[in-house]
Amino acid sequence: MNISAPIFDRDLVRRHIVRAEAGFARHDVLFRETETEIRERIADVKRDFPRALDLSPFPFLENAERAPDEETLSVELESFDLVVSNLSLHWVNDVAGALVRIRAALKSDGLFLAALIGGESLRELRACLMDAELSVSGGVSPRLSPTIDLTGAGALMRHAGFALPVVDKERVMLRYPDMFALMRDLRGTGQTAAHLERPRRFTRRAVFFEAARLYRERFGDSEGRIPATFDIIYLHGWKQAAIVS
């Protein structure tokens, strides 16, 4: 997602994270899933990382340092053995630039691990909101943020110069009693729309009620629950060690 014009309102992204901090633990099921996966991948490496940087919106790595903004990432060059980012990079405007800066912050033979929301995430919610708005209001607004796909993520890792880059996707399916419970979890983890083309006008309640009805009708299971699809893209890459002649 290397772009010349911004997609996201970064100030709004930060406000969403700050708003979610107090109640985050009540809504963090997806974050716990991806955190566990990142921890397991770190453990698989079988080496120590004395100095780490955690770029996650809700940091989880013990004794790791923090940076104020992963989009600009003003830190000392070649200073970290490990950099992690848990569900944060999908809110960055210039992902290509961010990855270049992350690589520059790593020491030789340093490791970068990240998880981001991409692919066809929230495809059920997207479809139902679109159809509900079309039915109720006669038009459609871009309500959910754009996402990156697996191919694009791989290209960005290679462009940034990571050695042995690995990009893979895991589909996580969460279930909720209704659409509004899903939306509470999204809000409670700061994952609500922050793209610049989001609708600014007041949305009629009828749109959301119709979307909830469509969601249950199309996707509800025998127990009355609805699924929410998340495609989690994992990034894994090394800062290649310098060759000494």
Establish if 243 belongs to a structural domain.
no
pTM: 0.91
CATH number at residue 206: 3.40.50.150
Establish if 244 belongs to a structural domain.
no
Establish if 27 belongs to a structural domain.
yes
Establish if 187 belongs to a structural domain.
yes
Establish if 222 belongs to a structural domain.
yes
Establish if 3 belongs to a structural domain.
no
pLDDT in tens, 61-70: 999 999 878 8
Establish if 170 belongs to a structural domain.
yes
pLDDT in tens, 165-216: 999 999 999 999 999 999 999 999 999 988 776 665 667 899 999 999 999 9
Establish if 179 belongs to a structural domain.
yes
Query: Rounded distance, CA 115 to CA 109, Å?
Result: 20
The kind and range of the H/E element at 229 are: strand 226-238
Q: Which residues of 9-45 are buried (b: 16+ CB within 10 A; e: fewer)?
A: beebbbebbeebeeebeebbebbebbbebbeebbeee
Range of the domain at 29: 10-238
Q: Rounded mean pLDDT of the chain?
A: 91
The answer to whether residues 35 and 232 touch, using CB atoms and an 8 Å cutoff, is no
Mean pLDDT of 112-140: 91
Write the CA distances from 43 to 49, 64, 82, 112, 245, integer angstroms.
11, 16, 12, 13, 32
Mean pLDDT of 114-125: 96
Q: Cα dihedral sign for 172, 178, 180, 181?
A: negative
With a cut of 50, say whether residue 245 has pLDDT above it: no
If one counts the domains in the chain, the total is: 1
Q: For residue 75, give the amino acid letter.
A: V
pLDDT at 71: 85
Q: What percent of the chain has pLDDT over 70?
A: 91
With a cut of 70, say whether residue 148 has pLDDT above it: yes
